Amino acid sequence: MSAPQAPPGPADHAVDAPAGRLDAGLAARLPLTRSRIAALIKDGRCTVDGRVIDKPSHPLRGGERVELWVPAPPSSALVAEDLGLPVLYLDDELVVLHKPAALVVHPAKGHHAGTLVHGLLHLLSEALPEDSAYAVDPTRPGIVHRLDKGTSGVMMAARTPEAMAHLSAQLAAHSVERRYLALVFGRSPGLSGTVDAPLGRHPHDRLRFAVRADGRRAVTHWERLAEGHFGVAGDREGGVLSLLRCRLETGRTHQIRAHMLHLGLPMVGDPLYGGGRALPRALAAGLSHQQLHAARLGFTHPRTGARLRFFSPPEAPFLALCAALGIDEAAWADT
């Protein structure tokens, strides 16, 4: 059997690699994320001293000549749209914005335009010059992290491949500060705590995640900021809502929502993790999604090294519910 052949044409990148894993060495030298590099290696687009290597974990002694071929981006029918997204910060490397809860993130059936992706394409239109190393999926332009559909708040996106790699590395190192405000049913078990419980696909509902022994490690730190009470017909004690501030140590899909349900504190208004709980009609007016808000985002600027922190206040339904429960905005003033 003949040896695998390198892709035709000159390589897009050629480096003298350091000792260690192949994917890690390339990630330290190139403006590409480690996951992107690993995918290219598995696809046979990497050679070490002229020999095709398809294992990201391939060990290097140090000093080998490593070449990497990066394919051109797939064609995309997506059209950039100026959606007037609330921009909190914008420079040549990145953009920080407020994602409205009502905004659909990705194009899908019934949502072929007007999504967050279309809006980001407009904000990032200068991020993909034809002669640059392609590092951004055109269907998820610049998206370094994500917010669930229905969750509002601060998001960042990269405008260059270098910024994409740098910000992704910060997320992997758990150095990005992410604080959320959440309204949940019930009284929290104490003033603060930590949920360190692995998450995986729910065994009976593929749309949800649940605590599972075979899941990926997930850590959420929480603290109670305030408590509100509401009347329930036929119940003298009524109901209780807790306002929590949650800080992510890891960033798994649906992490806060699944962890709070695991604590017995289902998210208010949550179609997947609400536990079947509902508010009286007068309080539920205008609540069409989970009351979870990404209030604070902090990270290191990929070029200047400056530490940046951004805050975005909760949206109108969240504020209205807090006001109806007698929870003052001062409760989250130091978020």
Are residues 139 and 50 part of one domain?
no
Phi, psi of 56 (to 5 degrees): -60, -30
Residue closest to 164 by CA, chosen among 307, 37, 39:
37
Same domain as 318, residue 233: yes
Residue 17's CATH number: 3.10.290.10
Q: Which residue has the higher pLDDT, 262 or 72?
A: 262
- Same-domain status, 203 and 160: no
192-231 per-position pLDDT tens digit: 999 999 999 998 888 899 999 999 999 999 999 999 998 8
CATH number of the CATH domain containing 148: 3.30.2350.10
Residue 220 counted as domain residue:
yes
Higher-pLDDT residue of 146 and 236 is: 146
Do 308 and 195 fall into the same domain? Answer: yes
Provide the pLDDT for residue 64. 93
The residue type at 202: H
Q: What pLDDT is stored for residue 160 in this prediction? A: 82
> What local confidence, expressed as pLDDT, does residue 1 receive?
55
Q: Are 56 and 37 in contact (CB under 8 A)?
A: yes
Query: Do 159 and 126 contact (CB within 8 A), yes or no?
Result: yes
Q: Which domain holds residue 101?
A: 87-172
Whether 63 is covered by a domain: the verdict is yes
330-335: list long-range contacts, CB under 8 Å, 24+ apart.
Answer: 331/225, 331/226, 331/243, 332/181, 332/225, 332/243, 332/245, 332/295, 335/179, 335/181, 335/245, 335/295, 335/296, 335/311
Question: What pLDDT, on the 0 to 100 scale, is given for residue 286?
Answer: 82
Q: Is 2 exposed, middle or buried (0-12, 13-18, 19+ CB in 10 A)?
A: exposed
Q: Is the pLDDT of residue 88 over 60?
A: yes
The domain total for the chain is: 3
Q: What is the DSSP letter of 216?
A: B
Residue pair 111/104 in contact by the 8 Å Cβ criterion: yes
- pLDDT per residue over 121-180, tens digit each? 888 764 444 444 434 455 667 888 889 889 999 999 988 888 888 999 999 899 999 999
Same-domain pairing of 21 and 115 = no
Same domain for 216 and 191: yes
Side-chain-facing half-sphere of 335: CA atoms under 13 Å: 31
Same domain, 151 and 168: yes
State mean pLDDT over 55-71.
92
Q: Which two tokens stand for residue 46?
A: 């990497």
Residue 320 located in a structural domain:
yes
Is residue 247 classed as helix, strand or coil in its secondary structure?
strand
Residues 194 and 48 in one domain: no
Q: Which of 14-23, 66-75, 144-153, 167-176 has the lowest mean pLDDT?
A: 66-75
The mean per-residue pLDDT over the stretch 281-301 comes to: 93
Residue 159 is predicted with a pLDDT of 84
Is the pLDDT at 75 greater than 70? The verdict is: no
Instruction: Using pLDDT thresholds of 50, 70 and 90, give the confidence band for residue 45.
Output: very high
Of 10, 137, 129, 28, the C-alpha closest to 69 is 10
Of 172, 189, 214, which residue sits at a domain end? 172
Q: pLDDT per residue over 28-42, tens digit each?
A: 888 788 888 999 999
328 and 300 part of one domain: yes
Q: Output 80 or 157, whichever has higher pLDDT.
A: 157
Tell me what pLDDT residue 126 has.
47
Do 165 and 188 belong together in one domain? no
Q: Is residue 107 part of a domain?
A: yes
Task: Please check whether residue 305 lies inside any domain of the structure.
Answer: yes
In a domain, 191, yes or no: yes
User: Of 172, 195, 210, at which residue does a domain stop?
Assistant: 172
| Residue 211 belongs to a domain | yes
Which one from 12, 43, 54, 148 is the annotated catalytic residue? Answer: 148
Annotated active-site residue 91? The verdict is no
Q: Are strands 152-158 and 292-300 parallel, antiparallel or unpaired?
A: parallel
pLDDT of residue 255: 97
pLDDT of residue 259: 98
Considering 120, 154, 172, which residue would you say is the last residue of a domain?
Answer: 172
Identify whether 79 is part of a domain. Answer: no
Query: What pLDDT does 131 receive?
Result: 41
Query: For the segment 167-188, what is each residue's pLDDT rounded down to a tens digit?
Result: 999 998 999 999 999 999 999 9
Whether 318 and 197 share a structural domain: yes
Q: Across all residues in the chain, what is the average pLDDT?
A: 88
Same domain (yes/no): 114, 153: yes
